[in-house]
Structures are given as structure tokens and as C-alpha cells.
């Protein structure tokens, strides 16, 4: 009944979306792979040069970190809504979210801690006192250093997953849609540049997801537009979000982000068959979450060590990209997937048979 009510309100869809086909799913994976390659290229050229500095001048600087960051938020929201459509109770949803975060975050934080403490790079900071705060993805709330610059982004995704779960199983469709609209309105009022990292929890920060709600809304809209339900509503929200994105970026950056979102939406519809042969990119894309968590600390340490041995910057950057991909794919295979398979074997059937929705609000939305 709860699923039916939310479906009627447009928050989920019983229609089978395009991404459920193997072609669309593969295209989404390829897009994720492309985004992570852009992320690695930007981090190891421009970001490394700004934070630490290459030993020699680097002729190539891919300054697209904003594009990969904002694309990650849209993809994360798209995947969350796609995955949560199969959950009918709060317990399965919570465990599924934990199975996404914990097996990836814990080893990534521990690897970053070991690498940063052993490398002794002055610009990178890690200490045992901040270990728990990093594991909780709340280092900035406690005034402690992030072991990896990628960790703070996960705070937004965790906030969004929690808010979505509360709306899905507690508040109901009308409240959830009202909060989404209110959050976009507040983002529009604050659209005067890139969102600023919050170092404390505030009602405005929660409502706007620290200013990144428009990017998350784009991802939700991509799912529902591919599903073919409530197109008018989600096109409207997508256009409003796009306008906020344009107002929050320079013209060039805003257009680049909108193009990236167009690619994500086209892939969700299975409309990019030219991506199908890129199986190696799809494999990278399936592990993009683990790669992203590892990339900065691991890559910076690799580049710093190689350049100290006399290796030119460009080969060092390429080696760092390879190391991040190999380690991320390995962690995804042997940590995340192993944990998820264990959950499926041991607990999934129990929750399917035993778990019930925690709360079913009555808003009179039954068909």
C-alpha cells in the first residue's frame, strides 16, 4: 500500500524503467566510468598541483573537478531511487544502504590513514584521533582533517539517503514532495556560486543538502522520466534544477554540467548504443564508488613518491590513475560485493518474508 501511494504521487514508479534493460544498465555503467576518469584526471593534474605541487611543470591540466563532483551527486540519486524502488520496508532499505556505505568506507578510510601517515606529505593530514570521525564521515563537524578530500562528499549522500528513507517510510508523498520543492526554492535564493562545505548541521543545510539538492533532483528526475511516469512534474523539476545549476556556476561550467546530465538521462533511456562496446569502462563504472573513495589519498601518495624518484609528472599521473582503478575495482570486488552477497545469502530472504513497513501514512492517495 505504501509503495502504491508513493507511486501515485510520483516518488516511485511501478512501471519498469528503461534502465532495467541490460543495454541501459550497461550505458549507465559506462557513463559512471567516464565520470570517474574525468575525476581522476582532474584530481591528479590540477588539484594535486594546487595542493602539493608537481616536481616539474605539467603541460596538461584537466580542470573539471566541478563536473565530476556534481555528476556524482546526480548519479548517486539516480541509483538510490532505482535501487529503493524494490524495497517495501524500512529494515531492508536501511541494510541495503549500510551494505553500500560500510564495506566501501571502512577499508577506504583505513587505507587512507595508513598511506597518509606513512607518506609524511606536509599538505596531507591524518592522525589516530581523527580516525573515528573519518569513519563516521563527520571529520569537518569535529574540526578534524579529512584523510581523503573525497570523504566530505559522502556526508551529502548519507544525508540524502537518510532523508529519502524518512520520506519513503514515514512522512509520505505529499510531505516529501513539499520538502523537495521547498529545498529547491531555498537553493534558488542562495544560488550565488558553488555550494560551500558546511561544518555544522543546520536546518537549511539539511533541506538543501548543503546546496547540492538541484543535482540530486536531476538524478531523481532522470529515473522517473525513464520510467515514463509523471513526465510533466519531473520535467518541471528538472528544468528548475537546471536553472539553479546555471545560476550557481559560470556559464561554461553550468553548460558543461547540463550536458553531463543530458548524457546521464539519455543513458537511463538506453539511447546511447554507441557506449555498449566499452566493456572496460563499464567495469570501471560499476566500481566507481570505491575508486572515488580511494582516489585522492592513494593517487597523491603515488604521484609524490614517483616524482621524488625522478619520474616525470605525466607518467606519474598515469600510474596514479592505474593504481586508483586497480585498487578501487579490487576493493569493490572483495569488500563491497562480498558483503552484499553475504547479506543476500544470510538475511535477504528473512527480510522478504518477515519485515513489514514501519509506518503507512494515510493521505487518501489510493488509486
CA distance 308 to 38: 25
pLDDT band (50, 70, 90) for residue 364: very low
> What are 86-135's pLDDT values in tens digits?
666 777 788 888 888 899 999 999 999 999 999 888 888 888 888 888 88
Predicted confidence (pLDDT) at residue 70 exceeds the cutoff of 80: yes
Percent of the chain with pLDDT over 70: 84
pLDDT band (50, 70, 90) for residue 365: very low
Residue 307: the pLDDT is 94
Predicted confidence (pLDDT) at residue 353 exceeds the cutoff of 70: no
> What are 294-342's pLDDT values in tens digits?
999 999 999 999 999 999 999 999 999 999 999 999 999 999 888 888 8
Residue 30: the pLDDT is 94
Burial 78-97 (b: 16+ CB within 10 A, else e): bbbbbebbebbbbbbbebbb
Residue 283: the pLDDT is 93
CA distance 126 to 114: 9
Nearest to 194 by CA among 270, 255, 261, 246: 246
Instruction: Report the run of H or E that residue 161 belongs to, with start and end.
Output: helix 151-166
> What are 221-231's pLDDT values in tens digits?
998 888 877 78
Least confident interval from 39-43, 289-293, 355-359: 355-359
Mean pLDDT for all residues in the chain? 81
What count of other Cβ atoms lies within 10 Å of the Cβ of residue 345? 9
Predicted confidence (pLDDT) at residue 355 exceeds the cutoff of 70: no
CA distances to 147, 155, 273, 294, 351 from 319, rounded to whole Å, are 21, 29, 31, 14, 44
CA distance 35 to 27: 12
CB 130 within 8 A of CB 145: yes
Helix 2-9 crosses helix 173-189 at what angle (to 10 degrees)?
Answer: 40
Which 3-state string (H, E, C) describes 297-314? HHHHHHHHHHHHCCCCHH
Instruction: Please give the model's pTM, rounded to 2 decimal places.
Output: 0.83
Cα-Cα-Cα-Cα dihedral sign, residues 92, 93, 96, 97: negative
Predicted confidence (pLDDT) at residue 65 exceeds the cutoff of 70: yes
pLDDT band (50, 70, 90) for residue 198: low
Cell of 90: 524500512
pLDDT band (50, 70, 90) for residue 34: very high
pLDDT band (50, 70, 90) for residue 354: very low
Residue 87: the pLDDT is 64
3-class state of residue 289 by DSSP: helix
Cell of 281: 569502462
pLDDT band (50, 70, 90) for residue 206: confident
CA distance 169 to 50: 44
Average of per-residue pLDDT across 71-97: 81
Cell of 228: 515514463
Residue 359: the pLDDT is 34
Predicted confidence (pLDDT) at residue 14 exceeds the cutoff of 60: no
Least confident interval from 17-21, 77-81, 85-89, 208-212: 17-21
Average of per-residue pLDDT across 254-261: 92
What count of other Cβ atoms lies within 10 Å of the Cβ of residue 185? 14
Residue 193: the pLDDT is 56
Predicted confidence (pLDDT) at residue 17 exceeds the cutoff of 50: no
Residue 57: the pLDDT is 85
What count of other Cβ atoms lies within 10 Å of the Cβ of residue 366? 9
Judged by phi (left if over 0) then psi (alpha if -120 to 50, else beta), residue 62 lies in beta
> What are 138-191's pLDDT values in tens digits?
777 777 877 877 777 788 888 888 888 887 777 766 777 888 899 999 998 887
Nearest to 115 by CA among 297, 304, 291, 290: 297
Cell of 98: 549500510
CA distance 10 to 12: 6
189's CB contacts (< 8 A; 6+ apart) are none
Exposed, middle or buried, 148 (CB in 10 Å: 0-12/13-18/19+)? buried
CB 30 within 8 A of CB 103: no
3-class state of residue 281 by DSSP: helix
CA distance 249 to 246: 5
Cell of 3: 509503495
Amino acid at each position: 500500500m505504501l509503495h502504491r501511494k508513493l507511486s501515485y504521487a510520483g516518488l516511485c514508479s511501478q512501471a519498469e524503467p528503461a534502465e532495467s534493460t541490460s543495454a541501459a544498465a550497461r550505458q549507465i555503467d559506462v557513463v559512471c566510468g567516464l565520470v570517474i576518469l574525468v575525476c581522476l584526471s582532474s584530481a591528479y593534474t590540477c588539484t594535486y598541483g594546487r595542493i602539493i605541487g608537481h616536481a616539474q611543470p605539467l603541460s596538461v591540466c584537466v580542470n573539471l573537478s566541478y563536473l565530476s563532483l556534481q555528476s556524482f551527486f546526480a548519479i548517486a540519486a539516480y541509483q538510490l531511487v532505482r535501487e529503493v524502488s524494490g524495497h517495501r520496508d524500512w529494515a531492508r532499505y536501511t541494510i541495503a544502504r549500510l551494505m553500500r556505505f560500510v564495506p566501501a568506507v571502512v577499508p577506504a578510510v583505513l587505507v587512507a590513514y595508513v598511506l597518509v601517515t606513512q607518506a609524511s606529505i606536509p599538505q596531507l593530514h591524518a592522525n589516530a584521533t581523527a580516525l573515528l570521525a573519518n569513519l563516521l564521515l563527520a571529520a569537518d563537524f569535529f574540526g578534524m582533517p579529512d584523510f581523503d578530500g573525497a570523504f566530505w562528499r559522502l556526508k551529502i549522500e548519507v544525508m540524502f539517503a537518510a532523508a529519502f528513507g524518512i520520506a519513503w517510510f514515514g512522512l509520505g508523498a505529499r510531505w516529501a514532495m513539499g520538502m523537495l520543492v521547498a529545498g529547491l526554492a531555498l537553493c534558488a535564493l542562495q544560488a550565488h556560486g558553488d555550494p560551500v562545505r558546511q561544518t555544522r548541521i543546520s536546518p537549511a543545510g539539511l533541506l538543501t543538502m548543503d546546496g547540492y539538492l538541484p543535482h540530486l533532483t536531476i538524478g531523481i528526475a532522470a529515473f522517473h522520466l525513464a520510467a515514463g511516469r509523471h513526465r510533466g512534474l519531473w520535467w518541471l523539476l528538472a528544468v528548475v534544477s537546471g536553472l539553479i545549476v546555471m545560476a550557481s556556476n559560470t556559464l561554461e561550467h553550468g553548460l558543461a554540467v547540463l550536458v553531463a546530465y543530458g548524457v546521464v538521462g539519455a543513458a537511463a533511456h538506453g539511447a546511447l548504443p554507441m557506449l555498449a562496446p566499452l566493456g572496460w569502462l563499464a567495469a570501471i563504472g560499476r566500481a566507481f564508488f570505491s575508486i572515488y573513495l580511494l582516489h585522492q589519498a592513494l593517487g597523491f601518495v603515488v604521484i609524490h613518491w614517483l616524482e621524488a624518484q625522478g619520474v616525470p609528472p605525466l607518467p606519474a599521473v598515469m600510474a596514479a590513475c592505474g593504481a586508483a582503478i586497480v585498487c578501487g575495482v579490487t576493493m569493490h570486488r572483495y569488500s563491497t560485493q562480498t558483503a552484499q552477497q553475504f547479506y543476500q545469502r544470510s538475511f535477504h530472504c528473512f527480510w522478504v518474508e518477515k519485515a513489514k513497513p514501519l509506518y503507512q501514512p494515510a493521505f487518501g492517495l489510493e488509486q
